[in-house]
Each structure stands twice: as C-alpha cells, then as structure tokens.
C-alpha cells in the first residue's frame, strides 16, 4: 500500500542531479525489462498488463484513510510480479506510476525516475524474488499460494520504501539522521505492508480459483499452454 511520502515522492525532496541519476537508472532497467519480457500484443500479456494497470489506477480513486490527512491505496508491485513476472510486471507498474503522476499529480514529475525505481523496479523485483523462492510452496496448495502472495506483498512494500532511504541518503535536501530515517520509514512500511500483503493474497486467491492460467508464478514452463496449469 502506498500511503506515505516515501512512495510517491514529490518534487523538491531530492536534488536535481539525484533525480536525473535515478531517471537514468529507471530508463536502463526498463529497457532491459522490455527486451526480456516481451509485450506481445497477440497473447494475454498485453491485456493482463493493461487491466492490472487500470485496476491499480482505479483503486487509487478508492482511497481509504490510513492516518488523519493521509490515505492509502493498493500499490500492486507484488501482484504485478506474481501475475506478470518480474519483467512485464516492472513495465506495468512503471506505466501506472507515470500516468498517475501525469493525471493525478501523484508523485512529482522530476521524481519520476526515483518513483519508478522504487515501485516499478525494487518493489516488483523484491516481490518476485520472494515469490520465486517460495514457488514450491505456492504450487503445492491454495494456502501455500496465499501465504506466498501475502509475504511477497509485504516484502515488496518494504523494499520500495528502502529505495527511498537510499535516494534520500544520496540527494536528500535535509540533513537528518539516516539511521533514524531508515528506522521510521521501514518500520512504517512494515505495518503498511501487512495491508498490501492481505490485499495481494485475496486478489491472487480470487484469480487462482477461476483463471489459474493467468498467474505467471504457478504457470508451468510451457507458459503458452493454457490447459497445463497447476491450481
């Protein structure tokens, strides 16, 4: 869940060189992701990526309060990783982050590089690594799949927030104690991540029941064979 400053960074939190640096990092990663995870408009990756993006985008309109004056919404890094795999998952999340910035002013335009790095890259990758490591559990039973989805949601949220700590250390505009900052940011996101984990698990559970073939994580190696699916 994204509820705090660490997720949709605004303009002015980082200095200009740092903003550009992370813009470059994001661009390089996305180029790599685009090469590895092809968006083939003829198979199901394109509609699934588009729909997940739309869903995350729409969920943002259904903000719910987390703290007074602060509301949160589903972030979706782990969900994207589990449904689409790490590469297309990154691409999908980056579209969400960019369009949110352009249409909602959610996250600064100059902070786009940093925000894409945190949410589309770090969060998605961390969620996928967790899910991949526990893939055996996920395939064995429904409870296994749900627990793995929960954990991936939690870890991806924390990972994305950790990205912010690093960025702030490099180009933050105020001289705050980094240890304290890291403690607060990561601590808060461990709590927020529980919400993210629960929603991720519920969503994956609902999808697994009806369309297990949509879940990248449990698809067998012949990913294009829709009938051969573990459920």
Partner 1 sequence: MSASLDVRGLEYHYPDGTTALAGIDLRVEPGERVAVLGPNGAGKTTLVLHLNGVLTGTGRIEVAGMPLSPGTLREIRRRVGVVFQDPDDQLFMPTVADDVAFGPANFGVTEPELAERVQAALDAVGMAGHADRSPMHLSEGQRRRVALATVLASDPELLVLDEPSANLEPVARRELADVLLSLDRTLLMVTHDLPYALQLCPRAVLIDNGVVVADGPTRDLLADADLLAAHRIELPWGFVPHP
Partner 2 sequence: MSGGHATVLHRPGDSPVHLLPPQVKLLAAFAAVLGVVATPREAFWAFGIDLLVVLAVWSVAGVPLGWFARRAVIETPFVLLAVVLPFVSGGPRMDVLGLAVSADGLLAGWNILAKGTLGVLIALTLAATTQPRDLVLGLQRLRAPGWFITIATLMLRYVDVIAGELRRMRIARISRGDDPRFLWQLGAAARGAGTLFLRSYERGERVHRAMLARGWAGHMPAGSAAPVGALRWVAGGSPALVIATVWAVAAWPG
Q: What residues line the site for partner 1 (CB under 8 A)?
A: 42, 209-213, 226-227, 229
Question: For residues 46 and 52, what is the distance between their CA atoms, to the nearest angstrom?
Answer: 10
- Dihedral sign of CA atoms 16, 4, 186, 74 in order: negative
Nearer to partner 1, 51 or 170 (CB): 51
Question: For residues 158 and 150, what is the distance between their CA atoms, to the nearest angstrom?
Answer: 13
Q: Are 134 and 151 in contact (CB under 8 A)?
A: yes
- Dihedral sign of CA atoms 203, 207, 209, 213 in order: negative
Question: For residues 169 and 1, what is the distance between their CA atoms, to the nearest angstrom?
Answer: 23
Binding of residue 129 to partner 2 (CB under 8 A)? no
Nearer to partner 1, 35 or 210 (CB): 210
- Dihedral sign of CA atoms 114, 118, 120, 125 in order: positive
Instruction: Report 159-188 residues binding partner 2 (CB under 8 A).
Output: 172-177, 180
**Which one of partner 2, partner 1, none is in contact with 213 (Cβ closer than 5 to 8 A by kind)?**
partner 1
**Which one of partner 2, partner 1, none is in contact with 133 (Cβ closer than 5 to 8 A by kind)?**
none
Q: Are 123 and 159 in contact (CB under 8 A)?
A: yes
Question: For residues 162 and 185, what is the distance between their CA atoms, to the nearest angstrom?
Answer: 8
Instruction: Report 63-102 residues binding partner 2 (CB under 8 A).
Output: 69-70, 91-92, 94-96, 98-99, 101-102
**Which one of partner 1, partner 2, none is in contact with 229 (Cβ closer than 5 to 8 A by kind)?**
partner 1
**Which one of partner 1, partner 2, none is in contact with 24 (Cβ closer than 5 to 8 A by kind)?**
none
Question: For residues 215 and 212, what is the distance between their CA atoms, to the nearest angstrom?
Answer: 6
**Which one of partner 2, partner 1, none is in contact with 137 (Cβ closer than 5 to 8 A by kind)?**
none
Question: For residues 112 and 22, what is the distance between their CA atoms, to the nearest angstrom?
Answer: 8
Point out which residues bind partner 2 (CB under 8 A): 3-5, 10-13, 15-16, 19, 30-31, 34, 39, 41-42, 44, 46-51, 53-55, 57-58, 61, 69-70, 91-92, 94-96, 98-99, 101-106, 108-110, 172-177, 180, 199, 202-203, 205-207, 210-211, 214
């Amino acid at each position: 869940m994204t509820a705090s400053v660490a997720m949709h960074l605004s303009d002015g939190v980082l200095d200009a060189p740092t903003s550009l640096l992370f813009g470059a990092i994001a661009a390089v990663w996305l180029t790599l992701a685009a090469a590895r995870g092809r968006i083939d408009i003829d198979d199901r990756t394109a509609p699934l990526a588009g729909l997940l993006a739309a869903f995350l985008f729409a969920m943002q309109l259904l903000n719910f309060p987390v703290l007074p004056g602060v509301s949160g919404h589903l972030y979706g890094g782990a969900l994207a990783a589990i449904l689409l795999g790490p590469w297309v998952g990154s691409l999908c999340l980056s579209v969400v982050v960019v369009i949110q910035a352009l249409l909602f002013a959610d996250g600064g335009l100059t902070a786009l590089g940093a925000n894409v790095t945190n949410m589309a890259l770090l969060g998605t990758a961390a969620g996928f690594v967790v899910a991949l490591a526990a893939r055996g559990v996920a395939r064995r039973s429904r409870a296994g799949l749900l627990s793995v989805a929960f954990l991936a949601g939690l870890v991806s949220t924390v990972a994305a927030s950790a990205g912010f700590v690093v960025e702030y250390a490099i180009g933050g505009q105020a001289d705050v104690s980094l240890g304290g900052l890291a403690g607060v940011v990561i601590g808060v996101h461990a709590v927020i991540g529980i919400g993210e984990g629960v929603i991720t698990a519920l969503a994956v559970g609902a999808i697994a029941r009806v369309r297990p073939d949509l879940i990248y994580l449990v698809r067998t190696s012949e990913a294009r064979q829709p009938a051969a699916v573990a459920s």
